[in-house]
A and B are shown apart, each in its own frame.
Chain A
Amino acid sequence: MQQRREKEMVRGEAEAVVACSDKSMKIGATMWDLETGEKLLHIPTCASPPFGFLCLRNRFLVASQINKHGSIGDGAILVWPFNKPQQPLLNYTVEAVGPLCCTNDGIYLVGGALSGIAYLWNVTNGKLLKTWRAHNKSLNCMAFSDDDSFLISSSVDGTICVWSMISLLDIEETTSSPPSLHCLSGHTSSITGLLTIPNSILVSSSLDGTCKVWDFIYGRLVQTQVYLFAITSITLHQRERLLFCGMENGTIIVNKLDIGLKEGPSMGTVAQPLELKGQNGAISALTCSRACLISASEDCTIYIWDIFNWEVIHRFNLQKGKVTNLVIVSRSALVSASKYETVSNKYYVSPLDKYPQLINSFKGTTTLLSLCPLHKGNQTCIDLRSSDLSRQKISSSQKADVPMSMTIQMKVETSIKNHVLATNMAEHVTVINKQLQSQLLNFIQHRLLCPNIINTHKTRRKKLKIQSLVREEKNLKP
Chain B
Amino acid sequence: MAVFDHFENMYDVAFKPRLLLSLIRDHLPDDSTPFSNPSNLSNLLSLIKTHSLLSESFAQSTPHKHAQAWKSAFASWLDRIYSLISTTVPDKCWAGISLLGVTCEECSSERFLESYSLWFQKLLPFLQSPADCHLVRVAACASMSDLFVRNKITVNMHLVLIFKYFLHLFCGLFSATYWCYHSKSNLAATCTNSLLQNRLSGYPKIKKDSSSCAVKVVQPTLKMLNDENSEAVWDAAVHLLCTIITSFPFSIRNHYESSHSDECFEFMQVESAIALKLLSGGCSLDMLKKLAHCLALLPKSKGDEESWSVMMQKILMLINDQLNLAFHGLEEETMRNMVTRLLFWPGKHPPSPLGGYVLADEVRNKASNTSEQSLMSNVSTLMFGCRMMLTNSYPVKVNVPVRLLLALVERILMVNGSLPQMSLPFMTAKQQENICSELPVLHLSSLELLTAIIKAMGSQLLPHAAYIVRIVTKYFKTCELPDIRIKVYSVAKNLLLTMGVGMALYLAQEVINNAFADLSNIEHKNGGMLNGSNLNASAGAPLPPGHRKRKHISTNGSLQAHDEGGGLGVEVPKNCPLTPISLRIAALETLEALVTVAGALKSEPWRSKVDSLLIVVAMDSFKEGPVSEETSMFQQKEPAATATDLQLAALRALLVSFLSFARVRPPYLAQGLELFRRGKQQTGTKLAEFCLHALLTLEVLIHPRALPLVDYAYANNHSFGEANSNLQHEYFGRNDHTPYGFPQAPPDYDDDLCARWFENGNEADVSLAKNTKHTPEPSEDCIANDPEVLDSNLLERAEMVSETATCADVEMKTVEDEINLKSDQPGESVVQFQESVSCTTNIPEAKTHSDVADDNNEKIVSESTLPHNEASHMESGQGSSVNKDFGLAFQSNSFGQRTSGSSILEEFALKFGQDNSLDDGDSFPDIVDGDPDSNSD
Interface size class of A (residues with CB under 8 A): 35 or more
Instruction: Check A167–B466 contact: CB distance below 8 A.
Output: yes
B840 partner, pick from A209, A271, A378, A379, beta carbons under 8 A: A209
The answer to the question of B664 belonging to the interface, with a C-beta cut-off of 8 Å to chain A, is yes
23 A–B contacts, CB within 8 A, in A order: A158-B871, A164-B502, A180-B787, A183-B795, A185-B803, A199-B600, A199-B662, A209-B839, A218-B603, A218-B779, A227-B835, A260-B733, A265-B806, A271-B722, A272-B722, A307-B711, A310-B717, A366-B401, A369-B399, A370-B460, A371-B394, A371-B456, A371-B460
A308 partner, pick from B664, B711, B805, beta carbons under 8 A: B711
A310 partner, pick from B713, B730, B787, beta carbons under 8 A: B713
Q: How far is the CA of A171 from the CA of B466 in the complex (A)?
A: 8
Residues of chain B within 8 A (CB-CB) of A187 are 871
The digit string for B452-470, where 1 denotes a CB below 8 A from any CB of A, is 0000111111111111010
Instruction: Check B875–A348 contact: CB distance below 8 A.
Output: no
Q: How far is the CA of A246 from the CA of B733 in the complex (A)?
A: 25
The digit string for B179-207, where 1 denotes a CB below 8 A from any CB of A, is 00000000000000000000000000000
How far, in Å, is B847 (CB) from chain A's closest CB? Answer: 15
The 5 A-B residue pairs whose C-beta atoms are closest, nearest first, are: A149-B502, A147-B500, A260-B733, A376-B393, A200-B600
Q: How far is the CA of A119 from the CA of B768 in the complex (A)?
A: 41
A363 partner, pick from B250, B341, B457, B458, beta carbons under 8 A: B341
Instruction: Check A172–B502 contact: CB distance below 8 A.
Output: no
A269 partner, pick from B401, B597, B828, B868, beta carbons under 8 A: B828
* Given A179-B787, A184-B802, A229-B839, CB of A265 within 8 Å of CB of B456: no
Q: Which residue of A lies closest to B874 (CB)?
A: A157
Residues of chain A within 8 A (CB-CB) of B22 are none
Instruction: Check A381–B768 contact: CB distance below 8 A.
Output: no
Residues of chain B within 8 A (CB-CB) of A230 are 842
B463 partner, pick from A129, A266, A377, beta carbons under 8 A: A129
Instruction: Check A103–B459 contact: CB distance below 8 A.
Output: yes
How far, in Å, is A337 (CB) from chain B's closest CB? Answer: 19
How far, in Å, is B311 (CB) from chain A's closest CB? Answer: 14
B839 partner, pick from A226, A308, A371, A374, beta carbons under 8 A: A226
Instruction: Check B342–A366 contact: CB distance below 8 A.
Output: yes
Residues of chain B within 8 A (CB-CB) of A103 are 459
Binds A, one of B511-519, B574-582, B808-816: B808-816
The answer to the question of B398 belonging to the interface, with a C-beta cut-off of 8 Å to chain A, is yes
The digit string for B160-178, where 1 denotes a CB below 8 A from any CB of A, is 0000000000000000000
Q: How far is the CA of A424 from the CA of B733 in the complex (A)?
A: 56
Q: How far is the CA of A367 from the CA of B453 in the complex (A)?
A: 14
| Given A149-B502, A183-B798, A367-B401, 19 extra CB contacts under 8 A | A148-B459, A148-B500, A149-B500, A157-B874, A166-B465, A183-B795, A186-B805, A228-B838, A229-B839, A240-B711, A242-B712, A261-B737, A310-B717, A365-B345, A366-B345, A367-B463, A369-B399, A371-B456, A372-B397
Instruction: Check A381–B159 contact: CB distance below 8 A.
Output: yes
The answer to the question of A82 belonging to the interface, with a C-beta cut-off of 8 Å to chain B, is no
Instruction: Check B842–A229 contact: CB distance below 8 A.
Output: yes
Per the 8 Å Cβ criterion, residues 681-732 of B in contact with A are 709, 711-714, 716-718, 721-722, 725-726, 729-730
* Given A170-B467, A226-B835, A370-B397, CB of A240 within 8 Å of CB of B712: yes
The answer to the question of A150 belonging to the interface, with a C-beta cut-off of 8 Å to chain B, is yes
Instruction: Check A261–B664 contact: CB distance below 8 A.
Output: yes
The digit string for B413-427, where 1 denotes a CB below 8 A from any CB of A, is 000000000000000
* Given A185-B871, A230-B842, CB of A179 within 8 Å of CB of B399: no
Instruction: Check A264–B730 contact: CB distance below 8 A.
Output: no
Q: How many residues of B contact A (CB 8 A)?
A: 110
Q: Which residue of B lies closest to A387 (CB)?
A: B396
The answer to the question of B506 belonging to the interface, with a C-beta cut-off of 8 Å to chain A, is yes
The answer to the question of A203 belonging to the interface, with a C-beta cut-off of 8 Å to chain B, is no
The answer to the question of B434 belonging to the interface, with a C-beta cut-off of 8 Å to chain A, is no
Instruction: Check A220–B712 contact: CB distance below 8 A.
Output: no
* Given A256-B726, A269-B828, CB of A387 within 8 Å of CB of B400: no
Q: How far is the CA of A242 from the CA of B709 in the complex (A)?
A: 11
How far, in Å, is A204 (CB) from chain B's closest CB? Answer: 13
Instruction: Check A256–B729 contact: CB distance below 8 A.
Output: yes
The answer to the question of B550 belonging to the interface, with a C-beta cut-off of 8 Å to chain A, is no
The answer to the question of A449 belonging to the interface, with a C-beta cut-off of 8 Å to chain B, is no
Residues of chain A within 8 A (CB-CB) of B805 are 186, 220-221, 265
Residues of chain A within 8 A (CB-CB) of B401 are 366-368
State the B residues within 8 Å of A (CB): 159, 250, 303, 338, 341-342, 345-346, 390, 393-404, 456-467, 469, 499-503, 505-506, 597, 599-603, 662-664, 709, 711-714, 716-718, 721-722, 725-726, 729-730, 733-734, 737-738, 764-765, 768-769, 772, 778-779, 782-783, 786-788, 790, 795, 798-799, 802-803, 805-806, 808-809, 812-813, 828-829, 832, 835-836, 838-840, 842-843, 867-868, 870-872, 874-875, 920
The digit string for A164-199, where 1 denotes a CB below 8 A from any CB of B, is 111101111100001111111111110000000011
Residues of chain B within 8 A (CB-CB) of A171 are 403, 463-464, 466-467
Instruction: Check A308–B713 contact: CB distance below 8 A.
Output: yes
* Given A220-B805, A274-B718, CB of A207 within 8 Å of CB of B729: no
The answer to the question of A401 belonging to the interface, with a C-beta cut-off of 8 Å to chain B, is no
The answer to the question of A145 belonging to the interface, with a C-beta cut-off of 8 Å to chain B, is yes
The answer to the question of A94 belonging to the interface, with a C-beta cut-off of 8 Å to chain B, is no
Q: How far is the CA of A220 from the CA of B798 in the complex (A)?
A: 9
Instruction: Check A269–B829 contact: CB distance below 8 A.
Output: yes
Q: How far is the CA of A437 from the CA of B607 in the complex (A)?
A: 77
Residues of chain B within 8 A (CB-CB) of A313 are none
Instruction: Check A226–B836 contact: CB distance below 8 A.
Output: yes
The answer to the question of A159 belonging to the interface, with a C-beta cut-off of 8 Å to chain B, is yes
State the A residues within 8 Å of B (CB): 103, 105, 107-108, 122, 124-125, 129, 145, 147-150, 157-159, 164-167, 169-173, 178-189, 198-200, 207-210, 215, 217-221, 224, 226-230, 240, 242, 248, 256, 258, 260-267, 269-272, 274, 307-310, 348, 363, 365-374, 376-383, 386-387, 390
Q: How far is the CA of A376 from the CA of B300 in the complex (A)?
A: 15
Q: Which of B402, B466, B597, B600 has the most CB of A within 10 A?
A: B600
Instruction: Check A370–B399 contact: CB distance below 8 A.
Output: yes
How far, in Å, is A119 (CB) from chain B's closest CB? Answer: 15
Residues of chain A within 8 A (CB-CB) of B346 are 365
Residues of chain B within 8 A (CB-CB) of A226 are 832, 835-836, 839
Q: How far is the CA of A260 from the CA of B733 in the complex (A)?
A: 5
Q: Which residue of B lies closest to A220 (CB)?
A: B779
Residues of chain B within 8 A (CB-CB) of A390 are 396
* Given A185-B803, A373-B393, CB of A170 within 8 Å of CB of B463: yes
Q: Which residue of A lies closest to B455 (CB)?
A: A375
Residues of chain A within 8 A (CB-CB) of B456 are 371
* Given A169-B463, A219-B798, A380-B395, CB of A274 within 8 Å of CB of B803: no
Q: How far is the CA of A151 from the CA of B602 in the complex (A)?
A: 20
Residues of chain A within 8 A (CB-CB) of B806 are 186, 221, 224, 265
A274 partner, pick from B506, B714, B874, beta carbons under 8 A: B714
Q: Which residue of A lies closest to B602 (CB)?
A: A199
Instruction: Check A369–B393 contact: CB distance below 8 A.
Output: no
How far, in Å, is B701 (CB) from chain A's closest CB? Answer: 13
A107 partner, pick from B460, B603, B871, B874, beta carbons under 8 A: B460
Q: How far is the CA of A380 from the CA of B394 in the complex (A)?
A: 11
Q: Which of A149, A169, A207, A390 has the most CB of B within 10 A?
A: A149
How far, in Å, is A154 (CB) from chain B's closest CB? Answer: 13
Q: Which residue of B lies closest to A218 (CB)?
A: B779
How far, in Å, is B458 (CB) from chain A's closest CB? Answer: 7
Q: Which residue of A lies closest to B405 (CB)?
A: A366
B397 partner, pick from A184, A371, A381, beta carbons under 8 A: A371
Q: How far is the CA of A103 from the CA of B802 in the complex (A)?
A: 28
Q: How far is the CA of A52 from the CA of B828 in the complex (A)?
A: 39
Q: How far is the CA of A271 from the CA of B867 in the complex (A)?
A: 26
* Given A208-B840, A267-B813, A366-B342, CB of A378 within 8 Å of CB of B867: no
Q: How far is the CA of A129 from the CA of B461 in the complex (A)?
A: 12
Residues of chain B within 8 A (CB-CB) of A149 are 499-503
